[in-house]
């Protein structure tokens, strides 16, 4: 493998990491409050607003139902408006983020719903407000699940980032398509696949390690 090809692989890997990192951060910042609201706004719950919950749930489900490659093409005008272009790494972040927000929101909702309802009732009995219960009980208790959910989101975004290479995005997907497929260079395609596998394994291992560290219920080895 030539030095030029190695440099291209390194550059493409950096572009992929950049896209995934930015989309994950923005998706988490926007998805966290949505997920919390969805988990706490059904009838009789902390932030009871069943009508709003239903409408927001429909919007989240509708966005998640659109295949990612179709979403990328469908929002090209919006991508141009936000990023000034519809091709390149920065432009690819727009559809990645839009796909990440509802996905992360549902993962956070599910993590919060797994918290023992007895803890909520105990906090209510002590006079805690709904926001205090969310901030001091629900989110800390759900943190391991939220961490694993964000890990799953990162893994999915790595796969999505490879897809945007088919529609003008950069990164490993673009490199694999342009050189590995269109120029019949199987070594490039193999290298791209290996790097993607390594990235996914690294993200999964790191996420699981963090989840264990933040899980107050899990026993830890003294030597760890």
What ranges do the domains of the chain cover? 3-214
Identify whether the C-beta of residue 73 lies closer than 8 Å to the C-beta of residue 67.
no
Residue 171 in tokens: 């990164």
The secondary structure of residue 170, as a DSSP letter, is -
- What's the chain's average pLDDT? 89
| Both structure tokens of 55 | 């409408």
Interval 1-59: pLDDT, tens: 578 888 989 999 999 999 999 999 999 999 999 999 999 999 888 888 999 999 999 99
Q: Does the pLDDT of residue 224 top 50, yes or no?
A: no
For residue 116, give the DSSP letter: -
Q: Which residue has the tokens 């390194």?
A: 10
How many other C-beta atoms lie within 10 A of the C-beta of residue 68? 17
Q: Which long-range contacts link 89-93 to residues 24+ away (Cβ below 8 Å)? A: 89/15, 89/18, 89/19, 89/169, 89/170, 89/171, 91/168, 91/169, 92/19, 92/161, 92/164, 92/169, 92/170, 92/171, 93/19, 93/22, 93/23, 93/26
Residues belonging to the chain: 224
Rounded mean pLDDT, 89-114: 93
pLDDT tens-digit profile of 78-91?
999 998 888 888 89
CB 108 within 8 A of CB 35: yes
Write out the two tokens for 141. Answer: 């208790």
Q: What percent of the chain has pLDDT over 90?
A: 58
Question: What per-residue string of b and e applies to 109-118 under the rule 16 or more CB within 10 Å gives b?
Answer: bbbbbebeee
Q: Which fold has domain 3-214?
A: MetI-like fold (1.10.3720)
Q: Does pLDDT of 212 surpass 60?
A: yes
């Amino acid at each position: 493998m030539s030095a030029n090809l190695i440099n291209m692989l390194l550059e493409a890997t950096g572009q992929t990491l950049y896209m995934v990192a930015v989309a994950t951060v923005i998706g988490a910042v926007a998805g966290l409050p949505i997920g919390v609201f969805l988990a706490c706004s059904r009838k009789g719950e902390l932030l009871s607003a069943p009508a709003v919950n239903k409408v927001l749930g429909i919007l989240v489900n509708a966005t998640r139902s659109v295949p990612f490659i179709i979403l990328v093409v469908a929002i090209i005008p919006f991508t141009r408006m936000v990023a000034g272009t519809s091709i390149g790494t920065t432009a690819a972040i727009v559809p990645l983020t839009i796909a990440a927000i509802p996905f992360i929101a549902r993962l956070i909702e599910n993590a919060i719903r797994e918290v023992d309802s007895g803890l909520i009732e105990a906090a209510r009995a002590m006079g805690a407000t709904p926001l205090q219960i969310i901030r001091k009980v629900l989110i800390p208790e759900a943190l391991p699940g939220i961490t694993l959910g964000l890990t799953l989101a990162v893994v999915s975004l790595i796969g999505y980032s490879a897809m945007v290479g088919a529609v003008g995005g950069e990164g490993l997907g673009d490199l694999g398509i342009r050189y590995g497929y269109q120029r019949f260079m199987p070594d490039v395609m193999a290298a791209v696949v290996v790097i993607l596998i390594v990235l996914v394994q690294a993200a999964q291992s790191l996420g699981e390690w963090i989840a264990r560290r933040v899980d107050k219920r899990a026993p830890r080895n003294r030597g760890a």
